[in-house]
Structure 1
Amino acid sequence: MNNKKQHVQVLLGLALIGGVMVAVPVQAGGFSTPTFGAPGWGRAFAGGSLFKNDPSSAFNNPAAMAFVEHNVAQFTVDYARIKIKYKGEANDYLGNPTSNTPIGSDGFPDLSATTVNNNDGGQGGFTAWLPTGFMVMPLGDRFAFGLSQVVPQGMRSTWNQDSKFRDFAVDTKIETVGLTGSLSFKVNDQFSVGGGVIVQHTKGFVSQNIDLLAAAAVSQDPILGNIDLPSGVGDALIRVKVDNISTGWFTGLTWKPTDKDTLGINYHAKIKNKLTGKYTIRADAFSNNLMTGTNPFTGSGTLVGSAYPGLELFPDGAHASVQLDIPATIGLDWVHQFNDRFTMGVSAVQTKWSSFKNLTLESRGSEIVSIPYKYRDVWMLSIGGDYRVTDELTLRAGVALDQTPTRNSTRDPRIPDGDRTFLSLGAGYEVKAIKGLSLDAAYSHQFVEEVKLKTQNVDRLGGASLNGKAESSGDVVSLSATYAF
């Protein structure tokens, strides 16, 4: 291939991946998002990117690019539907049941309206689209270059503003979109190494109710802390919108000990990620006065400032920052080709979630609130494979067991996650009428373990509590078009 033609193909690949960024809104569910095309989803991510000519190696294991036989580009769109259901109790800081409060015409909860006890359950969830794109280009006999657009981290959950969860969560959305470049080197016919860099843009949006009177009542203030102030009086909804651009690196090794076996190890380093932006508080007149007016109990300062010295809240908004680092991952993959028809893969991936201790919102050098999470390191184990029925048709299946990093003591409605099982099916078809084109589809259902939600809000958010269980499930449909040229 001459250099001029190769330069053109690189530019076309960049244009394709750039088009992915614009064409489809990026939304993902769950904190970690699998970075595979439909073939990978169909085998439940087993074998990683070690299957023959898999362009997702551009991100997942760049060393495997050295064994890709020709230029290949892949575009994938995933559709996800997540359902969450809660059964149990919700109580204010005094132990009184929290009730549904209808939203009035002004957009605030109507405290004068008839309320309905909401201890019988609640539902949340979302639907979303997730695009990915990969391209791998061999450069001579030993080198290969790769590009990708991935969404390695994402999470979203939505609950009604008038639900029992309003003091814990309303809307939560985190999206990380990354562009990567990678290079591999084939040491010999059995061994290769590779590495790459990622530039990513993370956006975060969080909203929830803050009960200012309840927060004052559970404070350590000698006056306010001894008064049983009523909860649910007044309304204040805090919204935080932040983003950041950060960079990181990843690497991998690939070894072919036999003609039938491929082994790989990959490592994606932790990425420091400090998001900055603004918070605003939408409050009715009563709650607004608690933040800006004179404290009626002490006659000086504000109620918020008296309850938590040094804390100032600005309803019209102020600067905000949140540290939300992307954890490191290490993956081990093995692919074995039994014959010309059947290939199987096995994978084990560890995510170093123990680095995520808390979510702390800061503004103007002071801490507004810090929510503990205390995540733990987790593993995902998967097994699956491909069966080539005909020269054109390939069937896939796989199962994966994925541990949750959450703990019973700190789990909340934002991420009511439990251990999950992925059960996946897929199919691929090579379009003979268009040389080099293949189409793939996969369906994956997530069976999520029922988990406890027995937690109490931090003092600054009013000390409300939950005691119940959450059930979740998810469905993903993945469609890919892959073109070898």
Structure 2
Amino acid sequence: MKKTLLTVTGLCISTSAFSGGYRVALQGQQALGMGHTGVAMSESAEVVFFNPAAMSFLESDSNITAGITLISGDTEYQNQQTNTSAKTDNPIGTPVGLYYTKKYDDKFHFGLGLYTPYGNTVEWPTDWAGSHLVNNIELKAIYIQPTVSYKINDKYSVGLGLSYISGDVEFNRNLNTSTVDANGDRSNVTVKAEGVSDWNFNLGFLAKPTDELSVGVSYRSEATMEARNEPATFSNIPGSLQSTFTSPTTFNADLVLPAEITVGVAYDLDSKTILAFDITRTQWSAYESLDIDFGNGQSSINARNYSDSNVYRFGAQHALNDAIVLRGGIYFDKTPVEAGYFAPETPRNDSIGLTAGGSYAVNKQLDLDFSLLVLMFEEFNGSYDHIINSDGSTSSFGGDYLSSVITLGFGVNYKF
């Protein structure tokens, strides 16, 4: 039997408006306050994520850093030609990070990180104009990363982290813009996967050629989350199509988490002020398509064709006194989404992030951290031009999109 082509756009993805595609760049409160710079810094246990090699240059024998970030964001859609509009109603996102480092001897440090670099929820109104692409989607991914660093000498160190990744996803969309059951309810499909997993690694290098200058490099490898025989449910299917869209069934799909490399420098202007600059190159070109095979004989071909993209980050830190440290930063994030591939689960263009933050030293061991991010997008007109219809033809969906994001983060840093 010939397979019917569906368009289950957006499975396993969407964090609304973060870091190029669906990456949430909120892995440390101190780093986020400085424009999310960190690859050349060695201030706290956050280095487990940003650059494992920097563990070798932490001053304390042991460090624990923990933080949580509150994300408030939404996207507005409008098509002036069809006079339709919609706005997401997203719950508050709460990515977390927990990091621990321990000095073993003068050469070796060990660490452990638990963090969530992918994950958020996007909810569009049910049966909105783009409901045949996405109604709602929720993604959670957690990384558990044991880490080791080796101090070659007083100027150079290397580090390696091996991450176990586990993720959950739930996604719903309508089958198309017109199919309804006998009660007039729109036909839809829901897919859900839990405990999808893979491994990747984080390799780091840090150099301190002078007392004032630090240079860092970090490479995070690609991972692929493979959903196999996970549950899928077709609902409100009219009687004439129930033999085609049998339910419940299963689905198979792969989602690429792209590799990225970051190079950065940090410079101590004086004993109180540090400047930092990072550039991250993310290999989004690995995300060519999202193809889904259902156990009932249906399939979905969803072209993405993302392009590699860069993020440029600038940050500064200044100690007002022994108790208070202030931070600020800015970053420029170029979208990997090419024209004609703007789908409503990641309807974003280039962005500018403004950040601020600070720390308060309760005592010599305990610091309280906070961060603020305002992510700004220009309104843009975009479309997804590769919807494959049941007869094999293609169609488009597009309009004007405007996204906004604000995050507020809190953390603690304990040194002993």
**TM-score when normalising by structure 1:** 0.77
Match of 1:200 in 2: 165
- Percent identity, aligned pairs only, is 20
Name which of structure 1's ranges 448-457 and 247-256 shifts more when overlaid on structure 2.
448-457
> Aligned-pair distance for 1:453?
2.5
- 188, 197, 202: which one pairs with 1:245? 197
Aligned residues: 391
Match of 1:379 in 2: 310
> Aligned-pair distance for 1:212?
8.3
Match of 1:444 in 2: 373
Match of 1:58 in 2: 48
Match of 1:339 in 2: 270
- 248, 253, 269: which one pairs with 1:322? 253
Letter in 1 for 2:410: L
Residue 278 of structure 1 aligns to a residue whose secondary structure is strand
Residue 32 in 1 paired to residue 42 in 2?
no
> Aligned-pair distance for 1:185?
0.2
> Aligned-pair distance for 1:408?
2.1
Measured against aligned partners, the alpha-carbon deviations of 1:72-97 in whole angstroms (never above 9, x if no partner) come to 1011010001111112158xxxxxx5
Inter-partner Cα distance in structure 1 for 2:184 and 2:337: 32
Match of 2:235 in 1: 282
> Aligned-pair distance for 1:147?
0.5
**TM-score when normalising by structure 2:** 0.89
In structure 1, runs of 5+ residues without a counterpart are 1-26, 91-96, 98-118, 216-231, 293-311
Q: How does 1:80-95 map onto structure 2 within 5 Å?
A: 80-89=71-80
Inter-partner Cα distance in structure 1 for 2:178 and 2:376: 40
Inter-partner Cα distance in structure 1 for 2:370 and 2:171: 33
Inter-partner Cα distance in structure 2 for 1:413 and 1:28: 11
Match of 1:228 in 2: none
Inter-partner Cα distance in structure 2 for 1:170 and 1:318: 20
Distance 1:460 1:64, change over 3 A: farther
Match of 2:333 in 1: 402
Q: How does 1:75-114 map onto structure 2 within 5 Å?
A: 75-89=66-80
Distance 1:406 1:369, change over 3 A: same
Q: Would you say the 8 A contact 1:28–1:80 is kept in 2?
A: no
> Aligned-pair distance for 1:364?
3.3
Larger radius of gyration: 1
Inter-partner Cα distance in structure 2 for 1:233 and 1:358: 33
Q: Would you say the 8 A contact 2:375–2:406 is kept in 1?
A: yes
> Aligned-pair distance for 1:464?
5.8
Inter-partner Cα distance in structure 2 for 1:334 and 1:213: 55
> Aligned-pair distance for 1:140?
0.8
Match of 2:151 in 1: 186
Inter-partner Cα distance in structure 2 for 1:182 and 1:363: 38
| Pairwise CA RMSD | 2.2
> Aligned-pair distance for 1:149?
0.6
Distance 1:169 1:270, change over 3 A: same
Distance 1:430 1:370, change over 3 A: same
> Aligned-pair distance for 1:463?
5.8
> Aligned-pair distance for 1:167?
1.4
Q: Would you say the 8 A contact 2:93–2:120 is kept in 1?
A: no
Q: How does 1:35-184 map onto structure 2 within 5 Å?
A: 35-46=26-37, 48-70=38-60, 71-89=62-80, 119-126=83-90, 127-184=92-149
Q: Which has the larger share of helix?
A: 1
Measured against aligned partners, the alpha-carbon deviations of 1:217-247 in whole angstroms (never above 9, x if no partner) come to xxxxxxxxxxxxxxx9762110011231211
Q: Would you say the 8 A contact 2:245–2:296 is kept in 1?
A: no
Inter-partner Cα distance in structure 2 for 1:192 and 1:129: 33
Match of 2:8 in 1: none
In structure 2, runs of 5+ residues without a counterpart are 1-13
Residue 257 in 1 paired to residue 209 in 2?
yes
Letter in 1 for 2:242: M
Distance 1:336 1:288, change over 3 A: farther
Letter in 1 for 2:69: D
Distance 1:445 1:238, change over 3 A: same
Q: Would you say the 8 A contact 1:35–1:56 is kept in 2?
A: no
Distance 1:190 1:460, change over 3 A: farther
> Aligned-pair distance for 1:370?
1.4
Inter-partner Cα distance in structure 2 for 1:131 and 1:398: 21
Inter-partner Cα distance in structure 1 for 2:100 and 2:211: 25
Measured against aligned partners, the alpha-carbon deviations of 1:407-434 in whole angstroms (never above 9, x if no partner) come to 22011111101111110111111002xx
Residue 302 of structure 2 aligns to a residue whose secondary structure is strand
Distance 1:65 1:212, change over 3 A: same
Distance 1:120 1:289, change over 3 A: closer
> Aligned-pair distance for 1:391?
0.7
Q: Would you say the 8 A contact 1:168–1:209 is kept in 2?
A: yes
Match of 2:319 in 1: 388
Inter-partner Cα distance in structure 2 for 1:253 and 1:52: 12
Letter in 2 for 1:267: Y
